[in-house]
Structure 1
Amino acid sequence: MYFAALLARTEDGWEASDTELDDVETLTDLTDLAREASLGADDETVLVFIEQEDAWFGVVRVDGEDDPRIYVSDAAAAARSSYGEILTSALIGGDDDDPADDLDALNLDGTEEGEPDDGPDALDAESAATASGRPAPPPGPLGEVGVLSDLGLSEKELLSLTSDALAEIADALGAAEILEAVR
């Protein structure tokens, strides 16, 4: 089960909204979704939070037209899920528009359609990466650990987060009540 939310920083503070990722198949789609949430301000900061049942979480930061900045708490776990695979492949050099990255053939748990979730034929991060020609993502954090440093959450604090990480991030940003309202 996924939880996804957008936090947009406005002149009046943070505004949050939950979001559906059903139409998101690439990092470009996710970035476009974040930019649409910026409420018209081109230089506004938008954070996309994605979490999968305390297995991993990801933060994508979009500042205006700049390239997105990404942090994933556990790359190996994230790579086994469809939305996490979008983030990890962007971080380890996957091609955002590569047909091999098309999520239409993936279930939300990251296995190929028709394959069991467990057992010898299950698609794990290493075999998925090998099949696509990309290296397997490493276990543990991946991406820009300083992605939230200027917003009040240091690299050390980000790396130490475990359960309920998105709530702790929102608390450090002064947006805990706003995020909780969309949860």
Structure 2
Amino acid sequence: MYFAALLARTQDGWEASDTELDDVETLSDLTDLAREASVDEDTVLVFIEQEDAWFGLVRVEGEEDPRIYVSDAASAARSSYGEILTNELLGRDNDDPADDLDTLDLDGTEDGEPDVETEDDTELDEIVAVGELVPAGPVGDRDILTDLGLSEKELLALETEALPEIAEALGASEVLEAVR
């Protein structure tokens, strides 16, 4: 199960809204969604969290390229929205992202996903459908929130259910709670 929220910076602080990702098939779609929420091309943060697995941040400022951070690339790569972020971070091209999304169940797992195990019976979390390795652990811009009050060290220490801690550091706890 996913939770997604947008935090848009305004002159009066942060405005939060939960958001539906149903129409998001590419990073461009996600970036456009963030830009629509922007006030005067100021900072917008998109939070995507998959329960007990991973969280991702996309920071959009005006027309600049988005900055991305994913807490666990191997877990995220196995989910539809996480795959969008990890593909961008790892420099992979999706020939037709719609084809990939059609094979994914939006609860974060692939239809009919087999349990893949190694000879010592441990699951291979790093292997995605195409057989390429994805690093376990965080990937992306670790300084994504440094100027907003959350250091790289603090970001790396966060695990699942990180959104409330991030909102606290940004001074946006109350507005986030209103949409959560």
TM (norm. structure 2) is 0.89
Aligned-residue identity in percent: 70
Per-residue displacement from partner, 1:106-154 (whole Å, max 9, x unpaired)? 112231x4x2x4435xx96524243xxxx42200000000000000000
**Structure 2 gaps, min length 5:** 117-123
Counterpart CA distance in 2 for 1:142 and 1:48 is 16
Match of 2:67 among 66, 69, 84: 69
Residues 163/106 of structure 1: CA separation in 2 closer, same or farther (3 Å cut)? closer
Per-residue displacement from partner, 1:77-119 (whole Å, max 9, x unpaired)? 0001000000000000022x521563122112231x4x2x443
Match of residue 48 from structure 2: 50
Alpha carbons 1:4, 1:51 under 8 Å: kept: yes
Residue aligned with 2:91, SS? coil
Runs in 1 of length 4+ with deviation above 2 angstroms?
A: 117-120
> Is 1:177–2:174 an aligned residue pair?
yes
RMSD between aligned residues: 2.1
Higher helix share: 1
**Structure 1 gaps, min length 5:** none
Residue aligned with 2:129, SS? helix
Residue aligned with 2:127, SS? helix
Alpha carbons 2:31, 2:60 under 8 Å: kept: yes
Residues 156/26 of structure 1: CA separation in 2 closer, same or farther (3 Å cut)? same
Alpha carbons 1:25, 1:102 under 8 Å: kept: no
Match of residue 109 from structure 2: 110
Residue pairs, 1:131-170, within 5 angstroms:
135-170=132-167
